[in-house]
Amino acid sequence: MPLKPSFLSILLSFQFVFCSMILCEDCKGQSAAEEWYLLVQERAEKMDFKSFAAENPNWMVNASKPSLKVAVPALDRLETALLPWGADQALVDQCMQVLFDSNHRCAQIIGVLHGRYGPFIEQALESASLPSSFQWLAATTSAFNTGFDENGAAGMWGMSSNLGRDYGLLSVNGIDQRKLAEESTNAFALELERLQRRFPKDPHRVLVAYWKGMAFATRWTGKPGYDKTLDEQLTLLKVLSRFMINIERPSFELDWIEQAQKWQLVKCDGEGMERNVIIREGIASDQALTEILPWWTSGFLTCEGAEKYGARLPEMARPKPTESKPKPNRQVDSSPSIAMENAPIENAIPCILYTVKKGDTLWNIAQRYPGITPEELAEINAISDYIRIGQTICVPDKR
């Protein structure tokens, strides 16, 4: 039965309080809400979103506050279980502050991305008889970023490698299916189904079991106060879920479908394609391949794999040509064709792409390639602190 959103109306009436608060630099990382705010801003800088925004410049509404629906769906089982996490008004206020900041920019970004992924996520959850509000876990975990990769958790659901192996998402060499939207979502729904059989009456415990494992979820009290960080995460999910359900927002599903039709399949000849060749020939930048095709984790991709997993790129993926024009009065001593052929191309560094493995350092990577120094690797790859497992770096090809 539809409910009148009076409680959210009260929160909206205090909008001026929330909007007057500024996310201070000194507080970064101090709460789940503030960390999530930064995550969403970074998500909007990814190439798929920027490409969409360029094609749809009116995606963001310049309104100080969103409009509420006349009537909204009743709380589902997960939302009902999370009601106790609405009692800490300070935590709730912090989440609302983030959602209202800059004309509710975070909520609008999430709304755009939900248009791309929401339809099949909702279908997968419904087929598994799971509460619909589980879908917003992809928003709080990664801001719907299929390329998310942090501390061993990957894909928009932040799935561990062990879980990925359990569901066959790491069975194909060079392909991390945790970073494929539909494949990972199907595995996510199956895992929640499994956990629900263990906790049939406690959907919030199902959620915590997915995050922290069965053992933690079993000994957890199921109430606020057990774990501060967990309380912040549950409060954020609770507030975001109801906020996105209660507000009037446009659907971007058709816009994303239209956008996808403009993306070009990467041309593949013979047995497959090499990553360093694609970069060297200017078909796509390394950043584009990492952001748009995050599931491709090796240096080679078969044509069958490219077609199966959808190796498509937006026009923005093609790197801008280097603007290096020859001087008009340049003298060439020998044959012009030979001289130009042998002239070095400014800023072009032939790369051997190397994927960082456990135990790697710049020093031991450099040892494998004669003539390369750790300092060189750091400079070329703009590394100022540390390298991450799974990160792809450029090793200058001096052969």
* Token code pair at residue 78: 């997960």
Calpha distance 157→135 (Å, rounded)? 9
* Confidence class for position 325, pLDDT limits 50, 70, 90: very low
Calpha distance 41→36 (Å, rounded)? 9
Q: Kindly give, in sequence order, each residue whose CB lies less than 8 Å from that of residue 143, ignoring residues fewer than 6 positions away.
A: 36, 39, 40, 42, 43, 109, 110, 113
Kindly tell me the burial class for residue 161, based on how many C-beta atoms sit within 10 Å of its own C-beta (0-12, 13-18, 19 or more).
Answer: middle
Q: What is the mean pLDDT of residues 141-165?
A: 97
Most confident stretch, 59-63, 134-138, 362-366 = 134-138
Least confident of 145-159, 251-265, 317-331: 317-331
Calpha distance 390→379 (Å, rounded)? 19
pLDDT over 80 (residue 165): yes
Least confident of 124-128, 283-287, 325-329, 335-339: 335-339
Interhelix angle 228-246/89-127, nearest 10 degrees: 70
Which pLDDT score is estimated for 30? Answer: 72
What tens digit of pLDDT does each residue of 63-73 get?
767 888 888 88
Which pLDDT score is estimated for 362? Answer: 81
* Confidence class for position 95, pLDDT limits 50, 70, 90: very high
What tens digit of pLDDT does each residue of 228-268 get?
999 999 999 999 999 999 999 999 999 999 999 999 999 99
Element (H, E) at 328: none
Q: Kindly give, in sequence order, each residue whose CB lies less than 8 Å from that of residue 385, ignoring residues fewer than 6 positions away.
A: none
Judge whether 278 and 318 are in contact, CB under 8 Å.
Answer: no
* Residue 116 vs residue 345, higher pLDDT: 116
pLDDT over 80 (residue 196): yes
Calpha distance 317→285 (Å, rounded)? 6
* Residue 334 vs residue 205, higher pLDDT: 205
Judge whether 150 and 88 are in contact, CB under 8 Å.
Answer: no
Which pLDDT score is estimated for 373? Answer: 82
pLDDT over 70 (residue 9): no
The length of the chain, given as a count of residues = 399
Least confident of 47-56, 131-140, 245-254, 335-344: 335-344
In single-letter form, the type of residue at position 35 comes to: E
Which pLDDT score is estimated for 123? Answer: 97
Q: What is the mean pLDDT of residues 334-359?
A: 52
pLDDT over 70 (residue 1): no
Closest by Cα among 114, 107, 111, 86 to 11: 86
Q: 57: how many CB neighbours lie within 10 A of its CB?
A: 7
Which pLDDT score is estimated for 104? Answer: 92
**CA–CA–CA angle 241, 12, 8 (5° rounding):** 45
pLDDT over 80 (residue 342): no
pLDDT over 70 (residue 49): yes
* Token code pair at residue 33: 């809400």
pLDDT over 50 (residue 335): no
Q: What is the mean pLDDT of residues 293-306?
A: 96
Calpha distance 26→213 (Å, rounded)? 32
Domain spanning 349-399, CATH architecture: Roll (3.10)
**CA–CA–CA angle 307, 311, 317 (5° rounding):** 155
Least confident of 102-106, 142-146, 246-250, 393-397: 393-397
* Confidence class for position 343, pLDDT limits 50, 70, 90: very low
Q: What is the mean pLDDT of residues 116-145?
A: 98
Domain spanning 21-256, CATH architecture: Orthogonal Bundle (1.10)
Which pLDDT score is estimated for 200? Answer: 96
Alpha carbon separation from 117 to 48, 208, 296 (Å, rounded): 13, 23, 20
DSSP 201-244: T-HHHHHHHHHH-HHHHHHS-SSTTS-HHHHHHHHHHHHHHHHH
- E strand segments, the chain: 149-150, 153-154, 264-265, 272-274, 300-302, 312-313, 351-355, 392-396
Q: What is the mean pLDDT of residues 188-217?
A: 97
pTM, full prediction: 0.74
pLDDT over 50 (residue 140): yes
